[in-house]
Amino acid sequence: MKEGTVKFFNQAKGFGFVKETETEQEFFVHISGLVDEVRENDQVTFEVQQGRKGLNAVNVRLSSN
């Protein structure tokens, strides 16, 4: 599991971006990849999976910190 921060998430459109803490790489996240509801600046854990247009964050959960 990777750790990161929700950089942006548009509830109406159902997508956003998560920035990994360690590498600062950004990953696209679709609402279907969320386990918990997220907002901008939430700390999350996630996995990365190949999507149609590149790597996507999936199984995105709020961190228990």
Q: What is residue 31's three-state secondary structure?
A: helix
Q: Which two tokens stand for residue 45?
A: 């854990």
- The set of residues, in sequence order, having a beta carbon less than 8 Å from that of 37 and lying 6+ positions away, is none
Place of tokens 């997220």: 38
Range of the domain at 29: 2-62
| Contact indicator for 48, 27 with CB cutoff of 8 Å | yes
- Whole-prediction pTM: 0.91
Kindly give the confidence (pLDDT) of every residue in the chain, 65 residues in length, as a single tens digit, with 9 standing for 90 and above. 999 999 999 999 999 999 999 999 999 999 999 999 999 999 999 999 999 999 999 999 999 75
Looking at the structure of the chain, the number of domains it has is 1
Alpha carbon 35 to its chain's center: 10
CATH number at residue 15: 2.40.50.140
